[in-house]
Structure 1
Amino acid sequence: MTFGALHGLSCEGEAEKARTNVFVLIPGAGGAAWYWHRVVAELRARGHEAVAVDLPGADASSGLPEYTDSVVAAIGDRADTVLVAQSLGGFTAPMVCSRVPVALLVLVNAMVPLPGETPGQWWGNTGSEPARLAAAEAGGYGTDLDLDTYFLHDVPAEVAAAGAGHERPEADIAFGQPCAIERWPDTTTRVLAATGDRLFPVDFQRRVARDRLGIDAETVPGGHLAALSHPVPLVDRLVERLP
């Protein structure tokens, strides 16, 4: 191999190192961008751009269309966006992809909607509650849907304490609104399911991903709030196979 060829490979490698991706992150119920703060910091430390969108989750007059508007505005005219959605954010994400170009969609412990389905219908249509109860019985933890058991069980105490000021309710309006898509967007989609998720158990997420998207869910460590409990391994997964 000539020096020129070696120099070309070196330049190509430097260009690869300099390449950055833009991550736009959609939170779940309540809409607090703070949920993603540990992931945002980790992505930026690795040289990527990261924007967590704050949604008007507590606003009784704002629902899925307004959430979609907020995310579309955050994306702007970027064409290389990696869109990441958690939990209820899975309903907003495909609506965004139907409006603006998105390079990659990653669903993290997310609800995967059918076209026209509402979040309120999703629970019964997917059988999420029987799956949750069965996992609780098998795992030996309580079935009452309390915050500590189902959301904070693996989140560091100091992180959970800091998050108390960011908690806000999710207004009912969004749960009655349909996912306004005619079909799942053509956007390349990945599903990341946390192995310790007690709200959406990992086997349940695998089934929904296969049934609704025809893809296999990938696993990450952590519970439903994996971005707070295990941000580094979650980012490891997010940056795999980037467009």
Structure 2
Amino acid sequence: MSERPTKIILVHGSGHGAWCWYKVVAALRSQGYSVTAIDLAACGSDPRRMAVDVTTFEEYAQPLMDLMASVPEGEKVVLVGHSFAGLSLASAMDAFPEKIVVAVFVTAILPDTVHAPWHIFQQV
């Protein structure tokens, strides 16, 4: 098996958690990839509650931002996000462009390139 240096980070959509990626994680790891599926704030195993403990989009996406900040300098990752995770991916892309080789939006919200990723919610 050849070494695959690129790490893959899987980000769930709303109402889910890292658990929803378990089959994808297993399949990718069996092919030799380094894979991490994370829980965003107030999701999955994170005990906080939405709208009580987590009140902003920045707080919601913070676990992804923390993970991206921990990626060593010079290393690049593949981000994969589903549904509402598109906003979190876009935020990470804005904050860490040098650490992302590609982002994959799986039926995910894809914000425009002019406004902040959460712009659509501010308009509503």
Q: TM-score range by the shorter chain?
A: 0.7 to 0.9
If the length of structure 1 is used for normalisation, what is the TM-score? 0.40
How far off is 1:68 after superposition?
2.8
Deviation string, structure 1 residues 186-227 (Cα, Å, up to 9, x no partner): xxxxxxxxxxxxxxxxxxxxxxxxxxxxxxxxxxxxxxxxxx
CA–CA separation in structure 1 for the residues paired with 2:117 and 2:64? 20
Report the CA distance shift for 1:67/1:80 in structure 2 as closer, same or farther (over 3 A). Answer: same
Amino acid aligned to 1:69: Q
Aligned ranges for residues 86-101 of structure 1 at < 5 Å? 86-100=82-96, 101=99
- Structure 2, unmatched stretches of 5+, are 44-48
Distance 1:106 1:91 in 2: 12
* SS of 1:103 mapped into structure 2: strand
Give the structure 1 partner of residue 67 of structure 2.
74
RMSD, matched Cα:
2.3
C-alpha distance 177-51 of structure 1, shift in aligned 2 (>3 A): farther
The offset of 1:54, in angstroms, is 0.5
TM-score under structure 2 normalisation?
0.74
Deviation of 1:69 after TM superposition, in Å, equals 1.9
SS in structure 2 at match of 1:29: coil
Structure-1 residue corresponding to 2:57? 64
Matched with 1:113 is 111
Match of 2:37 among 12, 30, 52: 52
Quickly say closer, same or farther: Cα 1:117–1:74, change in 2 above 3 A: closer
Choose which of 7, 16, 22 in structure 2 pairs with 1:37: 22
Q: Is this contact kept in 1: 2:57–2:118, CA < 8 A?
A: no
Distance 1:65 1:47 in 2: 33
SS in 2 for 1:18: coil
1:27, 1:53 within 8 Å by CA — same for their partners in 2? yes
Code of the residue aligned with 1:59 in structure 2: it is: M
Q: State the alpha-carbon separation in 2 of the partners of residues 72 and 110 from structure 1.
A: 18
Residue 102 of structure 1: how far off its partner (Å): 1.1
The offset of 1:117, in angstroms, is: 5.9
Inter-partner Cα distance in structure 2 for 1:18 and 1:39: 19
Distance in 1 (CA, whole Å) between partners of 2:85 and 2:20 is: 12
When the two structures are aligned, how many residues end up with a matched partner?
Answer: 108
* 1:22 Cα deviation after fit: 0.6
Tell me how far apart the structure 2 counterparts of residues 67 and 97 of structure 1 sit (CA, whole Å): 16
**How far apart, in 1, do the equivalents of 2:24 and 2:12 lie?**
12
Q: Secondary structure at the match of 2:5?
A: coil
- Provide closer, same or farther for how the CA distance between residues 48 and 66 of structure 1 changes in structure 2, counting only shifts above 3 A: same
Deviations for 1:29-73, whole angstroms, at most 9, x for unmatched residues? 124111111111111111011111101244214242123321122
Query: Partner of 1:85 in structure 2?
Result: 81
